Amino acid sequence: MNEYKPLPAEEEDRMVEAAFRDVLSAYLASNHRKKVEIIERAYRFAKAAHKGVRRRSGEPYILHPIAVARIVISELGLGSTSICAALLHDVVEDTEFTREDIEANFGPKIADIVEGLTKISGGIFGDKASLQAENFRKLLLSMSADIRVVLIKMADRLHNMRTLGSMRPEKQFKIAGETLYVYAPLAHRLGLFKIKTELEDLAFRYEHPQKYAEIVGKVNESEDYRRRVVSEFVAPVRAKLDAAGFKYEIKARVKSAYSIFNKMETKKIPFEEIYDIYAVRVIFDNDDDDLERMRCWQIYTIFTDGHKVHPDRTRDWTSVPKANGYRALHLTAMGPDGRWIEVQIRSRKMDEIAELGYAAHWKYKTGVTDDDTELDKWMNTIKDILANPEPNAIDFLDTIKLNLFSSEIYVFTPRGDLLTLPSGATVLDMAFTIHTELGMHCIAGKVNHRLVPLNHPLESGDQVEIITSQTQTPRHEWMDFCHSAKAKNCLRTLLRKDRGALKEHGRRLYEDFLLHEGITPTDQLLDRMLKNYGLASADDFYVMLAGDEISLSPEQLRAARRKRLSMVRKLLRNPFAPRRPDDADDDEARRAAPVPVNRKVTYILHPDDQRPNYRLEDCCSPIPGDDVLGFVNEREEVVVHKVSCPNAARLKSSYGSRLVATRWGGLADRFIARVALEGIDRLGILDDITTTLSRKLAVNIRSLNITTRNEVFNCELSMTVDSTDTLSNIINALKGIKGVKSAKRIS
C-alpha cells in the first residue's frame, strides 16, 4: 500500500493551497473565459465541507477533488462550470450539504452536474441488485442531459485508479474490474483515448502485477531499437513532406502494456511474436477544413512512393468518422526490419479530437452545436435503453456494454440512407434499429439483392432490405440473433409480455414434480438443478419447463426414479465439503451453518490438501501460478477464477463485496491444462510427442486429438499439471521437437 506521512497542519495546508493554485494556473492558461471567482468559491466551499476528513491513504480528502479538477482542465480541456462541479462532486454524497445548498451558492447548472455525479443510496432494481450497475444507470441518465457529468466521472475514476495503491487487495480487484468492465470501454466510446489507455494500463497493473512489470520491461529494453527503426522508416518521407511545404510533426506511438497483454492472451502468442508494438503518427497543420481530407491522401501518396503498403490494411475514417468522432487515415507499410508498421495520418484538429475526446472538443471547447453528430446518435441510443430499463441490474449493464464495446459497420437502406450498427449485427438488428414494428414482423432480408435469413451477419457496405409479414411474432431464439443494444432491449420487452404466464405455469409443474417424488423443495435443490441444466435463473428454468424444453413428465420419472433421485442427491452434494459418515443424513449436512470467509485478508488456496478449500470453475480452468481471485458464494465457498476471466470481470464489477484476494499456498498434480500444437507433419511425430510427455517429463496425458491436412498437423492435448511453471517447461520441451512450429496453452 502507498503510505502518506502526516505533515504539520500549516505545512499540509500549504500543500493543499499549492495543489489548488496548479488548477487555477492551468485554467488561466486555457482559452476559456476567465471565471476565477466562482472557482475560488467552489474550492473554499469544498475545503470547508471536507475539513478533517482523510482518504484511506491518510492524506487530506480535499486533495482528491482538487486532483479531479486538475484532470478536468488539463486533460479534458473543460471550463469553469466543470471545474467547480469537480471540486464539489463529493460534497452532497459525503457531507451534510444538499443539492439545494449547491444550487443556492453556485446555480442550477453546477448543482445538476453534482447531483448527476452523486452515487445512489437506495436500490432502484431491488435488494439483490448491483450497486455499481445502479450507479452506472444514474450516470447515464444524467449524461443524457449533460455530457459533462460523464466526463467528470471519467476524471474521478482516473484519479481513483492513480491512487489505488492505498486500498486493500480485494478492493483493488473490485475497482480495477469495474474500470475494465465499464469505464475504459465508455472512455473509448466517447473518444477519450488517453484516459482509456491509462485506465486499462492501471487496471492491468493491479490485476496482473508480474505480467505488467514483465511487459513494460521488455518494451523498455527494445526502445533504442524501435527508435532506430522508426527514424530509418520516416527519413525519406520527411524529405518529401518538407519539399511539399507541409508543417508537421512525426511521433512514434508504442502500444500500451494492456493492449500487448490482451493480444498475447487472445492470440496465445509470446511478446516476441507481436509485430505491431510501435506505430508512426503524422500530424500536420491545416488552416482550411475543406482541404483536410485531400492533404491526408497527399501524405498517404508520399508514403506509398517510398514504402510497400499492405493492400488490406488501409482504413479511411476521414469521410465516415467512428461513432466517437475519431477521424484519421490509417495505412500499414513495410518497415526496414521486415515488419509491418501502422501509420496514422491526422490533421492537428483530428489529433486533438482523438486525444481529448470528441465530446469535450465539440460541445464545450468550440461552442459548436450540431444535433446530427455521431455522438448525439449514440446518446439517443442510450436514452432509448433508459426509457425501458432492465429489471435486472446485471442484464442492464450487459445491454449497455453491447454498445460500449462494439466496433461499427456501415450499411445502406434500399434508398441509400447510411446506418451505423455494431460489428456482428444481423438483419434482425437492422430491422429493430429502423423501427420496433419492423423488427417484430421481420421474417428475412435481402442483402445486395440476395435473400438471406434473419440471423445473417451484415458487413460494411451492404445494402439491406427488410422483408416482413404481419403473421410473424417475436421468438425466444431471436435473442441469439441480436448484437445491438436496441434490438436486445426491444426484444426483451416484447417477450416479457408472455413470459409471466409461462413462468407461473412452469413453477407449478416443478412443484408438482417434487410433490409426486416426495422431495421437499429447497433453494439449494433449485440452485443445483439450475447448474445441472446450465441456466442462469429460476425464471429461465420455469419458462423452459412450461415450453417443454425440459421434460419432467411423471411417466419418465417413474421409469427412472432411482436414477433421478440419485442424480438429485449427487447434485446437492458439495464435492469439496468434508465427507460425513455413510449413515449421516444429507439434510442434516446441508443445514450445517457455513463458516464465514474473512474478505479483509488474503485467502490462501491449498490444492495439496486432500479436500481443497476452494472450488474451481470450468470457464477459465486456473492452475497454481495463474493470477486468480476468489468469489464467496451464498454458502461461503470460495469459487476461484482467473483474474482475466470474462466471468470474473462481471463478478468484479457487479459483486465487489463478495470478492476476496487469493494466493496459491501449495502445488498438486491435479489441474487440467490444454495445449495446442501445430507444425509440419512427418512420420513419427505423434510418437515423439507422446514419448516426450510420458517418458521424459512423466506427464499424465488425459486426451489427445491430432489431425493433418496436406503437410500440416494440428494437435490438441490435455494433461494434468501442478503449476504454470511446470506447464511452461512442458511447452518449451514440445517446441524442441522436430517439426513442431508452435505450442501454446489454450485453457
Contact 485, 402 (CB under 8 A): yes
Distance, C-alpha 336 to centroid of its chain: 36
User: What is d(CA 667, CA 608) in angstroms, rounded to the nearest whole number?
Assistant: 6
pLDDT in tens, 18-53: 999 999 999 998 877 788 999 999 999 999 999 988
Distances (CA, A) of 178 to 213, 626, 648: 22, 21, 11
User: Can you point out the beta strands (E) in 507-658?
Assistant: 603-605, 615-616, 628-632, 638-642
Residue 29: per-residue pLDDT: 86
Phi and psi angles of residue 603, each rounded to the nearest 5 degrees, phi first: -90, 120
- 175 touches 166 (CB < 8 A): no
Residue 674: predicted pLDDT: 92
pLDDT at residue 132, as a whole number: 58
Q: In angstroms, rounded to a whole number, what is the distance separating the alpha carbons of residues 703 and 719?
A: 7
Give the CA-trace dihedral at 481, 399, 401, 139, to 10 degrees: 160
Q: What pLDDT, on the 0 to 100 scale, is given for residue 294?
A: 95
Give the CA distances from residue 746 to residues 626, 702, 718, in Å, rounded to whole numbers and listed in that order. Answer: 13, 15, 10
DSSP letters, 568-589, are: HHHHHS-TTSPPPPTTS-HHHH
Residue showing cell 449547491: 102
The pTM is what?
A: 0.70
Three-state SS for 369?
coil
* The predicted structure's pLDDT at residue 665: 87
Separation of alpha carbons 671 and 559, rounded Å: 38
Residue 636 annotated to the active site: no
Q: What is the CA radius of gyration of the chain?
A: 29
For 528-636, strand residue ranges (E) read 603-605, 615-616, 628-632
Annotated active-site residue 527? The verdict is no
Of 688, 681, 685, the C-alpha closest to 712 is 681
Joined together, the cell numbers standing for residue 525 give 435443490
Residue type, 719: M
**Amino acid 297: pLDDT:** 95
Distance CA 14, CA 534 (A): 60
SS3 310: coil
Residue 278 DSSP SS3 = strand
- The residue from 22, 94, 276, 539 that is catalytic is 94
Taking alpha carbons only, the member of 434, 422, 496 closest to residue 467 is 434
With vertex at residue 135, the alpha carbon angle to CA 541 and CA 109, rounded to the nearest 5 degrees, is 145
Nearest to 655 by CA among 269, 302, 394: 394
Residue ranges of the chain with per-residue pLDDT less than 50: 1, 120-129, 360, 362-372, 553-591
Can you list the positions of beta strands (E) in 386-475? 408-412, 418-422, 442-447, 450-452, 464-468
CA dist., res. 415 & res. 50, Å (int): 59
State the SS3 of 410-424: EEECCCCCEEEEECC
Between CA 564 and CA 567 the distance in angstroms is: 5
- pLDDT value at residue 198: 94
Tell me if 713 sits within 8 A of 700, measured CB to CB: no
Q: What is the pLDDT of residue 369?
A: 42
| pLDDT value of position 588 | 45
What is the largest distance, in Å, between two alpha-carbon atoms of the chain? 92
498's CB contacts (< 8 A; 6+ apart) are none
Between β-strands 638-642 and 628-632, what pairing exists: parallel, antiparallel or unpaired? antiparallel
Grid cell at residue 210? 508480474
CA of residue 607 relative to chain centroid, distance: 30
Beta strands 464-468 and 442-447 are antiparallel
Q: Supply φ then ψ for residue 8, to 5 degrees.
A: -55, 150
Res 575: pLDDT: 35
The catalytically annotated residue of 22, 93, 214, 355 is: 93
CB atoms within 10 A of CB 473: 11
What is residue 139's predicted lDDT score, i.e. its pLDDT? 60
The set of cell numbers assigned to 652 is 468484479
> What pLDDT score was predicted for residue 344?
94
